[in-house]
Structure 1
Amino acid sequence: MNHDRRMQLQALLGALPAVALAGLLLARASGPWTVRLLLLAAVAASAWFAARGIRGRVQRPLQTLSNLLAAMREGDYSFRAREPALADALGSVYHELNTLSELLQQQRMKAMEATALLRTVMAEIDVAVFAFDGDGLLRLVNRAGAVLLGSAQERLLGRPASELGLGDALEGEASVLADMAFPGRAGRFELRRGTFRQGGRAHRLLVLSDLTRPLREEERRVWHRVIRVLGHEINNSLAPIQSLSESLLRILERQDEDWMEDARQGLGIIASRAQGLGRFMEGYTRLARLPEPRLARVDLEPLARRVAGLEQRRPVAVVPGPPVTLLADGDQIAQALINLVRNAVDAGEGPVEVRWSQGAGTVEIRVEDRGQGLPSGGNLFVPFFTTKSGGSGIGLVLSRQIAEAHGGSLVLANREDGPGARAILRLPLDPMPPAAAGEP
C-alpha cells in the first residue's frame, strides 16, 4: 500500500469510532429504520469524503515537491513552488527549495560563463594544450594544439599519445626545454606537464609553448645591442687612429725639423687607442666566458671582511649580522662584492658599509654608501656604460651575472634614510644546480 492510501486508511480508522458511535445511537433511537440507515450512511459517507480530502491534502504538496526535485535533478532550475501566505512547516520547505533552486541556477550560470571564458581563452591562445586520460587517450585539445599536429580537433580526440607523437612528451620532468618537430611546426618548445582529476579519474595535462620566435626576437635584440656597443667602441678607436695615420703620412712626406717628435707622439696615441680597444675586447670576453659556479661551503662574514680589507682608498665597515654559510663559488661572490664595494667608494666621500640579513632560505647582502645616489635612467646594467672617468662599465654587469648564476639577483636603489645608494645582492643559501635551473 502506497503512502497516499495509508494516509486515507489512517483517516478512516480515525473516523471509525465516531461512525460506530453514531450507528449505536441510531440503533437505540426511535423512528423508521430506513431513516436511521440513511443517517448512518450519511455519517459513513462524510467520513469517507473527509478521508479522501485528507489524502489529497497530503498528496498534492508531495507531488509539488517531487516535481521540483525532479526538475532540479534534470538540471532545470526555473521551476518555483507557490509559497503559502501564512508561514508554516510546509511553507518553510517550499521557501528553502525555491532558495536552493535559485542558488543552483546562479551557480550554473557562473559555471557556464566560466566555461565559455575558458573555451574562448583556450581557442585564442597560441599555446598548445592537450589533456590525456589514464589510458593515454587524448580527451581535450585546443585550436593551437590541433594546428601543431596538423589535423582537425575532432579527428584527434580519442587517439593515443604515442600515435600523435606525444608519448615521450608525457614522461619526464614537470618543465623542460626541448627541440621537437610536429606536422604543423618544428622548433624549440617549452614542455609543461601536470595532472588533474575529472570524473574521479586521473588525467594528465601537457602544455607546449613554441619558443622559437621569442628566442629569435631576443637573439636579434641581443645582437643589435652587441653590434651597437662594439660599433661605438671600435669607431671611437678607429677614427683617431685613421686621422693620426694620415697625419703621420703627411709628416713623413714633409720631414720637417720636428717630424720625429710629431711621429713619436702620433704613434703613442695610436698605441694607446689600440690598447684601449684591446682592454675593451678583453672585458667583453670576460662577460661572455663567465664560468659556471664551483659550489662549496663559504662563511659570509670572513668573506665580507676580506673584501673590505682589499679596499685601501677608504675604510669599509662590516656590520656583523647572523652567522651565514653559503653554498656558493667563493671566488665569484668575492669578485661581485669587490665590484660593489669599489662602486660605493667611488660614489663619494661618505662611509661605506657592508651588512647582511638572513630570510627564508636566502641571504641579503647590502653595500651602502653616502654618495650622490644613482643617476637617472636604466643604463646601469648596460655593458660598458659608465658614469666614472676611466671606468670599464662591466663591474655591475659581471656582478649581476654572478648573482644570477647562483640563482640570486642584484638590485640597485637609492637610500630612503638619506643620500646615497644601496646595492642589494640576494643569494639562496642552497642554490639549484645549473642543470635544474632551467636556463635556456
Structure 2
Amino acid sequence: MTRMNNRSLESTQRRLLLAASIPGVVMLLTIMIREAYSGYLVALVALLFTALIGYCALTISRRLNYQLDTLTNLVEAMANDDFSMRGKRFGKDDALNHLIDIINGLSESMNQQRLEVRQQQYLLSKVINNIDVGIIAFDAKEQLSFINNTAARLLDIDLAESQGWSSKRLTLNELSIESILSCPQNGVIEWQFPTRSGKFQIRQERYFENGQPQFLLFITDVSQLLRGEEYKAWQNLLRVVSHEINNTLTPIASLSQVLRQLLPVEPEFRDVDDGLKIIEERAGNLKTFVESYRKLTTLPNADKQILDVAEIIKKLLPLFEHRQIELVSSKPAVLPIDPVLMEQLLINVLKNADEAMPEDLGAIAISWQFRNQYLIIEITDEGPGISNPDNLFVPFYTTKPHGTGIGLTLCRQIAEAHDGYFVLENRTDGKGGRVRITLPGRER
C-alpha cells in the first residue's frame, strides 16, 4: 500500500512539474520559430529544456520521496513498538524537516515512557513474586490467568515445568479452592492446602479487563504470626514462673535429700523415706519440665552459612546404620542455612521416622528438589502414620513412653527460623508419614 501511494504521489509530482514548465517552453519555442531562428537551434533548445525539466522533476521527486519514506518508516516503526529509529534532517528548515523533528521527539518520549513502564512492571513483578502472600487471578470463566510464586507453592504448581502460569488454564474447581470463595471476606480460616495447612486470611477483589469481570484472590498465612504472639506470651510467662518455681523446687529437693539421709534405717521409717523420695523425684522432674519449656521458647537466631544440605544429610546416615535409608536424590542442594540447627532438625525427623517402625521392618526415603525458588526436602517412613494430627505441634504432647513432646515444635521453629515451613502428614501413596521441609533457595 505504501509503495502504491508513493507511485501515485510521484506521478502527481511529475504532472504538476510538467504542467508548470510546458507553457513557458512552448512560448519560447514559438517566439524562436516566429523570429526565424534555425531549426537546429530550436530543436537543440527544446532538447535542453526537456532534459532540464526531466532532471528537475527527478531530483525533486527523489528528495521529496526520501523525506516521505523516512517519515513513513518512522511511523511504521512506532506502530510496531520500535522507538529506536530516528529521522535524518535533509537540507534547510522546511515543513518536512520540522515534521521529522516532531516525530523524533515523539519517538524519544514514547521510548522513555515504555522504559519507565517496563521498569515499573519489573519492580511490580519482583514484589508480587517475593511477597509472602499468595496472589491468584481468575477470568470471567473462573480460569487461572495469573499466579505468583507463593500461591504456586501452596497449590503445589511447578511454574518452571509448566513454562509459566499462562500455559496452565486451570479452573477454580481443578485447583480445589472453589469453596474458599464462600469464606468470610478478610476472615481467618483453617485450611489444608496441598503443601501445608494452617490458618489463612482470605481476601477477594474484583476488577475489569477489556470490559470482562475478573477477580483476585489473596491468601495470607497468618499461622506463623499467631504462633509468634504465642511464643512471646510464653516467654513473658516463663520469666516469672520459672524464677518462682526454681526458687521453690531447689530447697524442696535439697531438704528432701537431707531428711532422707537423717532418717534411721528402721523398717517403720520406710514409708517416710519413700514419701521423701517421691517428693525429691517430682521436684526434679518439675525442674526438668521448666528447663525444657525454657529451651523451647529461647531458640537461638539462625547463623546462616552457604552449605550443601545434601552433604549434611549424608553425614547423618551413620547414626541410623540399623535402618534402611534410601537417598532418592543425588544433586547438590546449596543454600544459606544454620548447620547446627539444620542437623538438629534432620536428626529429630529421622529419629521420629525410625522410632515409628519396628527395628527389623520398614525403610526411610529422603528426597530433595528445587521448586519455585524453594528447596523441598521430603522424608517418608513406612510406619503406622499419624493417628492424632491435631495435637502434632502441641508442646509437651507425646505418644511415646519417654518422649518430651517438644521435638516437632522445635523442628517447626527451626524451619521458620530459616524463613521456611515444616509440614508433617500421612502419606497418600502408601502407609506411613511424610515430612516436608521447605527452605528458601535457588538451584546453583
For normalisation by structure 2, the TM-score amounts to 0.49
Higher relative contact order (CA 8 A, sep 6+): 2
For normalisation by structure 1, the TM-score amounts to 0.49
